[in-house]
Chains A and B, each alone.
Chain A
Amino acid sequence: MTTVMDLSNALAGAVERASGAVLAVHGRPRLPSTGVRWRAGLVVTANHTVEADREVTLTGPDGRTLSAQVAGRDPRLDIAVLRTDAESAPAADVADDGELRIGHLVLAVGAGPRASAGIVSALDVGGGRQASGEIVAVDLTLYPGFSGGPLVDVRGRVVGITTSGASRHLQCAVRASAVSRLVDHVVQGGRIPRAYLGVGTQAVVLPDALRDRLHLAQRTAVIAVNVKPDSPAAAAGLIIGDVIVSVAGHAIAEPEDLMAVLRPDRVGRAVTLSILRGGEPRDLEVIVGERPQRA
Chain B
Amino acid sequence: MSVLSAPEASPPHLAWIAERLRQVTVEIHTEAGGGAGILWAADLVVTNAHVARDSWARVGLADDRHVEARLIIADRRADLALLRMPRSEVAPAALADSDALRVGALVVALGHPLGLRRTLTAGVVHALAPARPGGRRWIHADVRLAPGNSGGPLADTAGRVVGINTMIAGGLALAIPINDVRRFVASAAAGAT
Contact = CB atoms under 8 A, between A and B. Distances in A.
Nearest to B129: A112
Contacts of B157: 1, 4-5, 7-8
Given A11-B104, A107-B124, A112-B129, A118 B3 contact: yes
A119 B104 contact: no
B191 interface: no
B142 A141 contact: yes
Contacts of A19: 103
A9 B105 contact: yes
Interface stretch (B10-18, B23-31, B39-47): B10-18
Interface centre among B1, B10, B11, B126 (most CB of A within 10 A): B126
Contacts of B10: 3-4
A139 B3 CA distance: 10
Nearest to A118: B2
Nearest to A17: B104
A272 interface: no
Interface string B156-172: 11100000000000111
Contacts of A281: none
Interface string A74-92: 0000000000000000000
Nearest to A7: B7
Nearest to B171: A141
A101 interface: no
A105 B13 CA distance: 17
B106 A4 contact: yes
A139 B1 CA distance: 9
A114 interface: yes
B7 to A, nearest CB: 5
Interface of B: 1-3, 5-7, 10-14, 17, 102-106, 123-127, 129, 140, 142, 156-158, 170-172
A144 B171 CA distance: 11
Given A115-B104, A140-B142, 5 more contacts: A1-B12, A3-B10, A112-B129, A118-B1, A139-B2
Contacts of B12: 1, 3-4
Contacts of A119: 2-3, 5
Contacts of A144: 170
A256 B125 CA distance: 39
Interface in A89-122: 103, 105, 107, 109, 112-119
B21 to A, nearest CB: 13
A42 to B, nearest CB: 25
Contacts of A113: 103-104, 127
20 contacts: A4-B7, A4-B12, A4-B13, A5-B156, A7-B7, A7-B106, A8-B105, A12-B104, A13-B102, A107-B104, A109-B104, A112-B127, A113-B103, A113-B104, A117-B3, A118-B1, A118-B2, A119-B2, A139-B2, A143-B126
Interface centre among A114, A119, A143 (most CB of B within 10 A): A114
B14 A117 contact: no
B103 A15 contact: yes
A138 to B, nearest CB: 10
Nearest to B13: A4
Contacts of A103: 5
A8 B156 contact: yes
A258 to B, nearest CB: 35
A40 to B, nearest CB: 26
A14 interface: yes
A7 B11 CA distance: 12
Contacts of B126: 114-116, 143
B146 to A, nearest CB: 16
A265 to B, nearest CB: 35
Contacts of B104: 11-16, 107, 109, 113, 115, 117
A20 to B, nearest CB: 13
Contacts of A13: 102, 104
Closest 10 CB pairs of A and B: A15-B104, A12-B102, A8-B106, A12-B105, A114-B127, A12-B104, A4-B157, A116-B142, A117-B124, A8-B157
A3 B124 contact: no
Contacts of B6: 7, 105
Interface in A1-33: 1, 3-5, 7-9, 11-16, 19
